[in-house]
Amino acid sequence: EARVEARLKARGQSVATHTSEAAALREVYRLAAEKHILHGDFELIADDGEHVLVGDLLDNPPKWHNRRFHDPLEPEYGGSDPRICWANLRAAGRPYLHSHAHGGVRYELHRARRTIKVEPGQRVALAQRVLELMRLDGGVFDRGDELVRVSENGSIQPLGLQGLLVEMDRLAAWTKYNLTQKKDVPCDAPRPVAEAILSMRGDWRLPRLKAVCPTPIMEPATGRIIDTDGHDAGTDLCLLLGDLRGWPGVPETPTTAQLAAAVKVLWRPFEAFPFVSALDRGVYFSALLTGVIRPALETAPAFMIGSPTAGSGKTLLSTCAGILAGDDEVSPMSGVGDDAEIEKRLLAFGRTGARVLLVDNLNGTFASDPLCSFLTSSTFRGRPLGVTDQISVPTRMLTLINGNNTLIKGDLCRRVLGCRIDPQDAAPWRRSFALDPAEYCRSRRLELVAAALTIIRAGQSAKMPASGFASFEAWNSTVRRAVCHVADLGLLDVADPAGAVDTAYSRDPETAKLGALLEAWFSVFSERPTTVGEVIKRVDIAIEGEREFALKSALAEITGDDRLNPRKIGRWLERQADRIVDEMRFVQCGKKDNVNLWRCELLL
């Protein structure tokens, strides 16, 4: 009550004569005390003693962001230095004041709503007015082809028409003239204005959003560590960091000793897992680093964790990688169907800004054209359920695959890096760990993320890997480079994760089929151009001959039937054209009677 009286007195008013103003101020202080909400008329004391309203802070973020203040409710709290509050005005539309008094309290900052009058013929002008308020508020983003808002838990919520109408009501109080009452009366946000805003795609001039990060992250191109809440204009990332009191920071130029310490910290939860080889450790180590930096990478490979039996720890390893990537609970995508189903689910995951995609419990062989495109493109385009138009979503999520003796095939082989664990135990699910890896990662996430960023930053000064990695150039120069640097220094028994591509191709059923066909075809026709029809005729009329029999068997593997279909074989050859296996490849070399001629070319 004393603060109400003081505020009114400063305005030249009194409680006795200005009862409505006093009541409004009491409500402002009640919301501050009970709900920890500071409205625009709430007065604060800045670090230099200046008295300033919350509304002034929100209207001038460059001046007040990161400034210190007295505690809102007890300005004298803290004795000789009462500046115990910190203002974060770039927190993705949810600016707040954090006071370290009373064990730590976070106060949300809300500005008073503007009033907008709906008038005929002003739809475009009203749409521009709403967009101006959105830019000032900072809570709505342009993400590809949609307007989105970031939720409290960091998920991305597409607004759509109804969501935009709610947002417009949140931003402004709408009125229109009522002929009967002969005055302006309250109304809901007008639908035509919302439709106009949605139709202005490309002209919103709102901050763009590529991903949401719950922990600090590094910009790959510059090595800059981003550790401030809110939208980062340089990367179009939105950071929702919360309490960073446990953040140890990242050295500007890590020494070898600091790098060794970071490797030890990051690998500690995973020491007991039975990785088969240095390559397997290198792949998983790169998955950990990738998860931490994935929102800043345009593209990155997926990672597959395999084992010979269930209960080996694949899901636990995926969960831990997901925690470091920012998802405390990873939601698996199990029971994958055909490519159309996979495409819909990829769009759904990408649209909500999921940080981790886990394809779980795969068996046998796995291939997916949509996943191939998803992994090597910065955006993925399609039509989600319930949406009329196609949309594009960023693909910046850590992609993990789990399975028992799963083989990937075709184009996925160069996009998925596989690692393997083998507990060599008939009942591996009965094992116990000295520490709970998942809980350890949750409770020490900031420490582990700092270690990962230290490792990546240390790799920036190391030599580049001898070979490149097509489609994943930024990942190659950050994550892969860091893993190879750790391996070169002998700080952990890991190998270049790119070696997993060769392993995948060596196990790929399609590669095996192509190699067998090349060898058998060459043994019969050498490098002579031949049509598929001639090949089939040759093996069909051959009464005996091991070479013809081997060629017919190789062709039957492709068609899945002893009755050889020339069209099916021709289409398969078109897909495999110029692909080299064992220094041989098929080359299309003209036509004969309007039919493709094929030649098996020896490259030695």
The DSSP code sequence of 515-577 is: HHHHHHHHHHHTT--B-HHHHHHHHHH-SS-HHHHHHHHHHHHHHTSSS--HHHHHHHHHHHT
- For residue 92, the model assigns a pLDDT of 63
**Residue 305 or residue 353, greater confidence:** 305
Computed from CA positions of residues 326, 327, 332, 336, in that sequence, does the dihedral angle turn out positive or negative? Answer: negative
- For residue 520, the model assigns a pLDDT of 92
Q: Is 297 exposed, middle or buried (0-12, 13-18, 19+ CB in 10 A)?
A: buried
Over residues 532-545, the mean pLDDT reads 80
pLDDT band at 108 (very low <50, low <70, confident <90, very high): confident
Res 249 pLDDT > 60 = yes
Percentage of residues in the chain with pLDDT exceeding 90?
A: 51
**Residue 56 or residue 486, greater confidence:** 486
Q: Model confidence over 400-422: pLDDT tens digits?
A: 999 888 888 888 999 999 999 99
- For residue 193, the model assigns a pLDDT of 96
Name residue, tokens 């082989």. 413
- For residue 293, the model assigns a pLDDT of 97
Res 543 pLDDT > 60 = no
Res 457 pLDDT > 90 = yes
Res 385 pLDDT > 70 = no
CB 428 within 8 A of CB 314: no
Lowest-pLDDT choice from 186-195, 358-367, 520-529: 358-367
CB 479 within 8 A of CB 455: no
Percentage of residues in the chain with pLDDT exceeding 70?
A: 98
- For residue 495, the model assigns a pLDDT of 96
Query: How many angstroms separate the CA atoms of 110 and 587, rounded?
Result: 67
Name residue, tokens 């088969």. 276
498-to-269, 296, 485, 486, 511 alpha-carbon distances in Å: 24, 20, 14, 15, 18
| The dihedral formed by the CA atoms of 44, 50, 54 and 57, expressed in degrees to the nearest 10 | -140
Lowest-pLDDT choice from 271-275, 313-317, 325-329: 325-329
- For residue 335, the model assigns a pLDDT of 66
Over residues 536-547, the mean pLDDT reads 77
Over residues 284-305, the mean pLDDT reads 97
CB 133 within 8 A of CB 141: no
- For residue 308, the model assigns a pLDDT of 87
The three-state DSSP-derived secondary structure of 401-429 is: EEEEEEEECHHHHHCEEEEEECCCCCCHH
pLDDT band at 392 (very low <50, low <70, confident <90, very high): confident
Q: Both tokens of residue 363? A: 């068996």
- For residue 374, the model assigns a pLDDT of 93
- For residue 522, the model assigns a pLDDT of 93
The pLDDT mean for the chain works out to 89
Q: Please choose, from the candidates 317, 315, 351, the residue with its C-alpha nearest in 3D space to the C-alpha of residue 212.
A: 351
* Encoded amino acid at 515, one letter: G
HSE-up of residue 520 (Cα within 13 Å, Cβ side): 23
The three-state DSSP-derived secondary structure of 37-62 is: EEECCCEEEECCCCEEEHHHHHHCHH
pLDDT band at 229 (very low <50, low <70, confident <90, very high): confident
- For residue 388, the model assigns a pLDDT of 64
Over residues 425-445, the mean pLDDT reads 84
